[in-house]
Every structure is written in structure tokens, then in C-alpha cells.
């Protein structure tokens, strides 16, 4: 797929800016805090309806305004598509395809695909399990848009159940009647049913991603290093039968009932999943030097790129935020060999010095200054 143009209105520090992409590689050049990452973030939002930097839409909407619009023209194998996303200070969103407002946001997902790679992604190795869950969730959302709905429902059940456990906790010492066991059982059943759907989908996508990541890792690192990507769900997954998983889920809920009661929060479920990366059987977090950790993240990103391409049948966009300059020449070249002209790539940088002259020539260079292209 090919992103032909992008129009940002009242988005972050962009008041009104149109951007035309004229080459498979675009370098977005500028000093710090000029709007390079903001531009990539807009593309990320169109692809995933999420931003890895912002959790509230009011941070995305330009200060002093009520709403922002991101529109884009995307060329796909099946024809061109107009995408439009409106973000509001109050959090309400509107999405439209080819001028038609969609009733459900999930119908907007999967139209544009992108893999984002920024220096924050090193947290995939170094950070807590939440980063890894977010990563696999974002990937799943693009591959199976209905997953966005399942995950949202799961999180809602989780919050409701936590509220109930909290009430239960505060009631035990008071004279008020204890929480209705039937009600808790019904929430348990919903948690298990939706949680099982989350677990099975995460497991499925990681099974497909793992060999790709392993192969890439092999190719980039010295071949003595062996990467393993291992899904460690909180509710163990011995086979793929949804009924058996639900059963195991509810068993574990029962086992942990006293602890849940004491802590007033849900302790069982995919919100506690882990995804482990090991290199030669050692956890990557402990094993790696910075360079090795970067190699690992690069392998994961390349695997994502290939997986999306093989599933949707078209190469997704690649968004490289500040990371290229951080890679040594060997890894830069590996990445660029893979991208070639097949994957449209947007690259941000503060200086052109560390780029290979040959492909600087074949790239479009956009200079950003204070939310405007100059």
C-alpha cells in the first residue's frame, strides 16, 4: 500500500499542513521538538486508532482548539481510499472512509497498516510486561480488527469486576450484606469467556510471529545467537480448545479467590500475561548489551512487517522514529535491504549525516520547522 498524501489540521503542533509523499522513502528532517514524531503519530493513528505516546485524545488535539482532523489518501491494490479521523478534546472520535462516516470504529481498522519502530520500543526488552502486551495487542488489532472489540470488552469486564471486588472488600468489616455470590459468578464467567478469546488470539499471532523473528534475528546478529519468543499466559494454555481454557481460567479464579478478596482486584487473566524473549536460553533483558537489545527489537519489527504483509497481501508502511541513526551500519543496511522500495517508509532524523549517500539520493526529504513543512 502507498500513502499518497496526508492532511493534518489542529493536530499536535500542526495547524494546517498538507503532506505529499513522492518517493517510497521519505526522510522527515528537523531539529528537536519541531513535529517529526507528531507526523508519524498521525499515520500510526490512522492505522491502529492508537498512539503509543498519548493515552488521551486531548493531548493530540492542538492546544486551544476543540478538535483535530487527520485525513489521508491511501493507494491500495484494490483501489484508493480516503481516510478521515476526527479527534476531539472530549474524547469522542469520528472515522470516515471515502467520505462516509462509519458507525463502528473497528470498520476503520485494517484499511491502512503500519509498523512503528521508535526508540521507545527498546522498552519491549527492558520494560515491564505491559509494553509487550500493548505491542502484541496493537499488532492483533491490525490483523484482526474484531480483536479491538474483544479487548475493549475484556477490559470493561475487568474494570467492572474490580469495582465489585473493591465493594466486597470494603463491605467485609461493615454490617452491610456481602456481595451476591451469583453476581460475582456471572462476572467470572464473562471474564473467562472474553479472556479466553484474548488468550487464544495472542497465542495464535505469537506462534506465527516467533519463527519470523527468529529467522531475522539469525540474519542480523551473529549466527550463534538463538532467539526465542515465548508466550506465557497467566492462565496456562495447554491446548487451543476454548472450553478447556475457560475451565482452567475459572479453576484459577477459584484458587485465587482469597487473594482477590484480600486485595480487592482481579488477579487472574490475560491482563497479567507475559511475553518472554530469550537469547540462548537467557532472558534478553539480562543478556543483552544495548546493541543486542536493539537487534532483538529490529528482528521483532521486521517480523511484524513480514507477518502483516503475508496476512493482508500487501506491504504495510514502516515508520522509523529516530531509530535508524541509532543502528550501526551493518544493521542499517540489513533493514534497508529488507525494505527496498517495497515497504513505504517514513524516517525521522535530526541530521542526515549518518545515512548512506546512495539511498539519501533516492529519498524524498521533508524539512519540518515548528509544525510546518519548509
Partner 1 sequence: MARLIEQFQRLPGVGPKTAQRLALHILKRPETEVQELARALMEAKQQVGLCTVCFHLSADPVCEICRSTSRDQSTICVVADSRDVIALEKTREYQGVYHVLGGLISPMEGIGPEQLHISSLIKRVSKGNIAEVIIAISPSVEGETTTLYVGQLVKPFTKVTRIAFGLPMGGDLEYADEVTLARALEGRRELD
Contacting residues toward partner 1, per CB under 8 A:
103-104, 106, 149, 153, 156-157, 159-161, 163-164, 167, 179-180, 182-183, 186-187, 189-190
In the complex, what is the shortest distance from the CB of residue 153 to partner 1, in angstroms, rounded to a whole number? 6
Q: Does 349 bind Mg ion (CB under 5 A)?
A: no
In the complex, what is the shortest distance from the CB of residue 348 to Mg ion, in angstroms, rounded to a whole number? 6
Q: Does 37 bind Mg ion (CB under 5 A)?
A: yes
First vs last Cα of the chain: how many Å apart?
27
Tell which residue, 231, 221, 230, has the closest CA to residue 289: 221
Residue 12 binding: pick among partner 1, ligand ATP, Mg ion, none (C-beta 5-8 Å cut-off by kind): ligand ATP
Q: Grid coordinates in use for 208?
A: 506465527
Residue 81 binding: pick among ligand ATP, partner 1, Mg ion, none (C-beta 5-8 Å cut-off by kind): none
Return the residue of 37, 113, 196, 234 that touches ligand ATP, per CB under 6 A.
Answer: 37
By the 8 A CB rule, do 280 and 307 touch? no
* Residue 273 or 321 with smaller CB distance to ligand ATP: 321
In the complex, what is the shortest distance from the CB of residue 31 to ligand ATP, in angstroms, rounded to a whole number? 7
Hey, how many other C-beta atoms are within 10 angstroms of the C-beta on 206? 19
Strands 345-349 and 25-29: parallel
Residue 251 binding: pick among Mg ion, partner 1, ligand ATP, none (C-beta 5-8 Å cut-off by kind): none
Per CB under 6 A, contacts with ligand ATP among 77-116 are none
**Residue 236 and residue 246: Cα distance in Å, rounded?**
10
Q: Does 12 bind ligand ATP (CB under 6 A)?
A: yes
Listed ranges 33-41, 277-285, 337-345, 352-360: which one lies at the site for Mg ion (CB under 5 A): 33-41
In eight-state DSSP terms, residue 273 is -
- Total site size for ligand ATP, rule CB under 6 A: 17
Residue 180 binding: pick among ligand ATP, Mg ion, partner 1, none (C-beta 5-8 Å cut-off by kind): partner 1
Q: Grid coordinates in use for 20?
A: 505529499
Return the residue of 29, 30, 72, 277 that touches ligand ATP, per CB under 6 A.
Answer: 30
Contacts of 157-164 with CB under 8 Å at 24 or more apart are: 157/187, 157/190, 157/191, 157/194, 158/191, 158/266, 158/269, 158/271, 160/187, 161/187, 161/188, 161/191, 161/266, 162/264, 162/265, 162/266
Sign of CA pseudo-dihedral 321, 368, 74, 360: negative
Q: Does 266 bind ligand ATP (CB under 6 A)?
A: no
Q: What is the number of residues in the chain?
A: 374
Residues 6+ apart with CB under 8 A from 131: 123, 124
In the complex, what is the shortest distance from the CB of residue 31 to Mg ion, in angstroms, rounded to a whole number? 10
Cα angle vertex 14, ends 318, 119, to 5°?
35
Q: Does 350 bind ligand ATP (CB under 6 A)?
A: yes
Q: Does 372 bind ligand ATP (CB under 6 A)?
A: no
In the complex, what is the shortest distance from the CB of residue 264 to partner 1, in angstroms, rounded to a whole number? 12
* Residue 105 or 372 with smaller CB distance to Mg ion: 372
In the chain, which ranges are E strands? 2-11, 14-20, 25-29, 67-76, 79-88, 93-97, 100-101, 114-118, 227-232, 274-279, 282-283, 317-321, 345-349, 364-369, 372-373
Q: Does 269 bind ligand ATP (CB under 6 A)?
A: no
Listed ranges 29-37, 255-263, 277-285, 338-346: which one lies at the site for ligand ATP (CB under 6 A): 29-37
**Residue 344 and residue 271: Cα distance in Å, rounded?**
34
Residue ranges that bind ligand ATP, judged by CB under 6 A: 12-13, 30, 32-38, 59, 61-63, 322, 348, 350
Amino acid at each position: 500500500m502507498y500513502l499518497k498524501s496526508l492532511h493534518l489540521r489542529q493536530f499536535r503542533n500542526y495547524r494546517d499542513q498538507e503532506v505529499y509523499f513522492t518517493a517510497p522513502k521519505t526522510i522527515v528532517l528537523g531539529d528537536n521538538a519541531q513535529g517529526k514524531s507528531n507526523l508519524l503519530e498521525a499515520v500510526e493513528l490512522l492505522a491502529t486508532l492508537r498512539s503509543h505516546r498519548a493515552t488521551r485524545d486531548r493531548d493530540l488535539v492542538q492546544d486551544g482548539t476543540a478538535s483535530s482532523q487527520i485525513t489521508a489518501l491511501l493507494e491500495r491494490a484494490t483501489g484508493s481510499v480516503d481516510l478521515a479521523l476526527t479527534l476531539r478534546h472530549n474524547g469522542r472520535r469520528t472515522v470516515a472512509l471515502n467520505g462516509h462516516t462509519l458507525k463502528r470504529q473497528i470498520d476503520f481498522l485494517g484499511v491502512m497498516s503500519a509498523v512503528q519502530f521508535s526508540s521507545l520500543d527498546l522498552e519491549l526488552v527492558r520494560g515491564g510486561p505491559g509494553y509487550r502486551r500493548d505491542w502484541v495487542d496493537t499488532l492483533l488489532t491490525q490483523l484482526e480488527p474484531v480483536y479491538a472489540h474483544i479487548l475493549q470488552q475484556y477490559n470493561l469486564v475487568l474494570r467492572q469486576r474490580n469495582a465489585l471486588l473493591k465493594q466486597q472488600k470494603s463491605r467485609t468489616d461493615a454490617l452491610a450484606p456481602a456481595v451476591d455470590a451469583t453476581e460475582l459468578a456471572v462476572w467470572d464467567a464473562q471474564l473467562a469467556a472474553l479472556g479466553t478469546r484474548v488468550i487464544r488470539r495472542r497465542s495464535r499471532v505469537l506462534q506465527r510471529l516467533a519463527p519470523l523473528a527468529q529467522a531475522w534475528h539469525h540474519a542480523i546478529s551473529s549466527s550463534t545467537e538463538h532467539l526465542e519468543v515465548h508466550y506465557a499466559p497467566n492462565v496456562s494454555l495447554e491446548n487451543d480448545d476454548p472450553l478447556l481454557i475457560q475451565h482452567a481460567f475459572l479453576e484459577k479464579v477459584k484458587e485465587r479467590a482469597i487473594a482477590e478478596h484480600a486485595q480487592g482486584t482481579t488477579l487472574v487473566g490475560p491482563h497479567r500475561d507475559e511475553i518472554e524473549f530469550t537469547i540462548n536460553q537467557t532472558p534478553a533483558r539480562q543478556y543483552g548489551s544495548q546493541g543486542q537489545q536493539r537487534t532483538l527489537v529490529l528482528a521483532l519489527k521486521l517480523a511484524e512487517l513480514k507477518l502483516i504483509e503475508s496476512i493482508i497481501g500487501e506491504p504495510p508502511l514502516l515508520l522509523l522514529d529516530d531509530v535508524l541513526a541509532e543502528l550501526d551500519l551493518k544493521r542499517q543496511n540489513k533493514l534497508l535491504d529488507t525494505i527496498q522500495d517495497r515497504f513505504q517508509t517514513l524516517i525521522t532524523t535530526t541530521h542526515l549525516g549518518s545515512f548512506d549517500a546512495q539511498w539519501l539520493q533516492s529519498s524524498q526529504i521533508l524539512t519540518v520547522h515548528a509544525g510546518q513543512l519548509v
